[in-house]
Amino acid sequence: MPAHHRSSRYGRYAGGPDPLAPPVDLSEALAAVSEDVMAGYSPEEAMREFLRRGGRGREGLDDLSRRVHQRRRDLLKQHRLGGTLDEAKQLLDKALRLEREQFLRDARMDPMDRSFREMQLDGLPRSTAAAVSELASYDWQSDSAREAYEQIKDLLGREILDQRFAGMKQALENATDADREAVAEMLRDLNELLEKHGRGEDTDEDFQDFMAKHGQHFPEDPQSVDELIDTLAQRSAAAQRMLNSMTPEQRQELMQLSAQAFGSPDLMAQLGQLDANLQALRPGEDWSGSERFQGGEGLGLGDGTGVLQDIAELDALADELSQHHEGANLDDLDLDALARQLGDDAAVSARTLAELERAMRESGYLQRDQDGDLRLSPRAVRRLGKSLLRDTAQRLSGRPGARDTRLAGAAGEPTGATREWQFGDAEPWDVTRTLTNAITRTVAEGGDAGRGLRIDVRDIEVAETEARTQAAVALLVDTSFSMAAEGRWVPMKRTSLALHHLVSTRFRGDRLQLIGFGRYARDLRIEELTSLPPRREQGTNLHHGLLLATRFFRKHPSAQPVLLVVTDGEPTAHLLPDGESWFSWPAEPATLRATVQELDRLGRLGAQTTFFRLGDDPGLERFLLRMAERVDGRVVAPDPADLGSAVLQEYLDARSKDADDADPWG
């Protein structure tokens, strides 16, 4: 067939992570982590929580842990021990049946001899092990019966070896005496190597010689004597746990039967020595544990040991997935073990979570502060603020899907900066940037810019403008514990982030000060406010917050002062002359008097004031209405979910009064 007619067949890539797969999307992870940080989690805890929950359409660590524990329960419910004893009993019953059938067929057999043999068989002990031992010197009349009896010894030998060397049961099926002697020689050489290693006298050449001679018995292909010991010790310990899991009667029966294995006491002696060597070299393995099997499917010694190894591997996976130990990260997950136990899909889910964790740490969205604690970086805060501003704008406009709130100033002078055109923009085009973008795109798409240009909407950039009037905005947010207790903590932070992003990116001439007030008030950077945890402290010190707002406005005397206050409770604290906070509930007249006096000072500065009342407290409603009347301000009572749009609307309304009545929303 000509080469160009050859067909190709394609399948799922199986060489590890798909090299053509797109990089992990951090947007969902960042949003989830940021939301939990604003609720009071540390960034480290928030990231762990996201990894536990997983994302949309993606398993998390909790899902994988549930599957691991379910797999463990299923193994215990499906199986029971004693399969080798059952099989040995079946072979013994078969041998006795064939022998008795031979008595009936052999007419020349001496009646006295037949009677004696029948009595001998009828008088065998009920114990399979004791019966097998008693028949060791029996002179079988039926060749088929003798063969079935010899199969018991062969079965026991293969099962006992399979406990220590996975796959040995199948490898030695129909084995010859030479095959068995080769195994016995391997055991002698192995014990000699392990004993030398225990004394520190072995060399790498000793290991290489052993593997060259007996490597076919070790499909795991260990590369050093320590790897060989690890592999053997894990399986030997699992074999011991299987014996521990048996009933005392099963253990006794098995030990008696084991003496018949291959009819070779030397084999059992070598295996006993192997177990002793391994336990001495790896005492940290679990040699004393046990499990309670409850199922109906009998397990042979080799298969049962394999199941105990699976259970140990599942326990290790459960510990890795819990991520509880210090310094834990998802790169520690054994993906091969996860694929073995739960399938390739589980390994893919775990790998994706590990990539997300690694990408979050390396992306710059999380960074260590001076104390070594993990925090949201300024980059993460900007990205979060942009997202929150977009959501708030949609609520404010009432037109989902409308253009982003990419606001520069309104009806003012160009700032010198440009940005991508968005639907609804009325700003003038930046012709130079637009043409440059068109040329760059045309060349990148394989076109010839010298033969003409076709401008695409993606090429257009518009000039940003500065608002004509500068504003100084003080956003006071209540940080008392009631805000967190009543579910208003996160909406307050989301509002602050959205306003901060709007001012810092679209009204750059304005100045914004975030002020939190609880028992005391303090100026807050946006990064501090974002990660501020709720504190169980009493006091709503609006007086102190207003003092800080007054100080801020006086630093910007040429700017229009805008005061925005978010609170869910009446003032219960005020600042004393010595700087201490005085708390009293119900509020004392002195607290109310100090708060009102400071508000009056702000009124004389010309501050445009809006109070945002959260909750339905009638006392708070009356108090804020009276406060607003004193300074010709307003009271707004939004739902917490609409707090952001309410605050942004008040800010924009306050600006528009001194910006030629321009509408910054377009």
Task: Please work out, in degrees rounded to the nearest 5, the angle formed at the alpha carbon of residue 191 by the alpha carbons of 169 and 243.
Answer: 50
What is the model's pLDDT at position 391? 65
Q: What mean pLDDT comes out for the span 367-385?
A: 68
What SS3 state is found at 367? strand
DSSP H helices in 106-224: 111-122, 128-134, 143-164, 168-171, 177-199, 204-214
**Which range has highest mean pLDDT (391-400, 482-491, 524-533, 536-545)?**
536-545
User: Residue 136 burial (CB < 10 Å; 0-12/13-18/19+)?
Assistant: exposed
Query: Measuring CA to CA, how many Å separate 331 from each of 267, 268, 324, 367, 435?
Result: 43, 42, 14, 19, 47
What is the model's pLDDT at position 401? 39
Query: Measuring CA to CA, how many Å separate 513 from each of 233, 337, 565?
Result: 65, 53, 12
Integer Cα distance of 291 and 300 in angstroms: 15
Integer Cα distance of 558 and 472 in angstroms: 9
What is the model's pLDDT at position 558? 86
Confidence of residue 282 (pLDDT cuts 50, 70, 90): very high
**What is the average pLDDT score of the chain?**
80
Asked whether residue 267 carries a pLDDT value surpassing 80, the answer given is no
What is the model's pLDDT at position 191? 92
Asked whether residue 6 carries a pLDDT value surpassing 60, the answer given is no
CA dihedral 72, 76, 81, 87 (to 10 degrees): -90
Within 8 A by CB and 6+ apart from 31, the residues are 384, 387
Determine which of 121-125, 308-312, 333-337, 456-460 has the lowest per-residue pLDDT on average: 456-460
Determine which of 134-148, 293-307, 457-471, 548-562 has the lowest per-residue pLDDT on average: 457-471
- Rg over CA atoms, the chain: 40
Q: Which homologous superfamily is 471-656 in?
A: von Willebrand factor, type A domain (3.40.50.410)
21 compared with 435, residue with greater pLDDT: 435
Determine which of 219-233, 355-369, 576-590, 623-637 has the lowest per-residue pLDDT on average: 355-369
What is the model's pLDDT at position 278? 92
Q: What is the DSSP string of 336-366?
A: HHHHHHH-HHHHHHHHHHHHHHHHHHHTTSE
Asked whether residue 291 carries a pLDDT value surpassing 70, the answer given is yes
Within 8 A by CB and 6+ apart from 593, the residues are none
Confidence of residue 18 (pLDDT cuts 50, 70, 90): low
Asked whether residue 12 carries a pLDDT value surpassing 70, the answer given is no
Q: Is-contact 503 482, C-beta < 8 A?
A: no
Asked whether residue 395 carries a pLDDT value surpassing 70, the answer given is no
Determine which of 62-66, 166-170, 519-523 has the lowest per-residue pLDDT on average: 166-170
What is the model's pLDDT at position 466? 55
**Percent of the chain having pLDDT more than 90?**
15
Integer Cα distance of 264 and 603 in angstroms: 103
CA dihedral 72, 74, 76, 81 (to 10 degrees): -130
DSSP state of 333: S
Q: What mean pLDDT comes out for the span 547-574?
A: 89
What is the model's pLDDT at position 54? 82
What is the model's pLDDT at position 408? 43
| 343 token code pair | 């399938």
Confidence of residue 660 (pLDDT cuts 50, 70, 90): very low
Asked whether residue 636 carries a pLDDT value surpassing 70, the answer given is yes
Integer Cα distance of 432 and 435 in angstroms: 5
Which among 276, 262, 359, 258 has a CA at the least distance from the CA of 28?
359
In the numeric block, the tokens 């050449």 are attached to 205
Q: Is-contact 572 538, C-beta < 8 A?
A: yes
What is the model's pLDDT at position 247? 85
460 compared with 657, residue with greater pLDDT: 460
Question: Which ranges in the chain are annotated with CATH 3.40.50.410?
Answer: 471-656
What is the model's pLDDT at position 549? 92
Integer Cα distance of 540 and 129 in angstroms: 82
- Per residue in 113-166, pLDDT tens? 889 988 989 999 888 888 888 888 899 999 999 999 888 888 887 788 887 887
| 164 token code pair | 């220590």
DSSP state of 429: B
Q: Is-contact 543 591, C-beta < 8 A?
A: yes
φ, ψ of residue 611 to 5 degrees: the values are: -100, 135
Confidence of residue 657 (pLDDT cuts 50, 70, 90): low
Query: Measuring CA to CA, how many Å separate 483 from each of 140, 172, 422, 614, 639?
Result: 90, 73, 37, 9, 13
What is the model's pLDDT at position 546? 94
Asked whether residue 484 carries a pLDDT value surpassing 50, the answer given is yes
φ, ψ of residue 344 to 5 degrees: the values are: -65, -30
Q: Is-contact 530 493, C-beta < 8 A?
A: yes
- Per residue in 159-200, pLDDT tens? 888 878 877 777 677 767 787 788 888 989 999 999 999 999
Asked whether residue 656 carries a pLDDT value surpassing 70, the answer given is no
Asked whether residue 468 carries a pLDDT value surpassing 50, the answer given is no
Determine which of 233-237, 453-457, 590-594 has the lowest per-residue pLDDT on average: 453-457
What is the model's pLDDT at position 411? 42
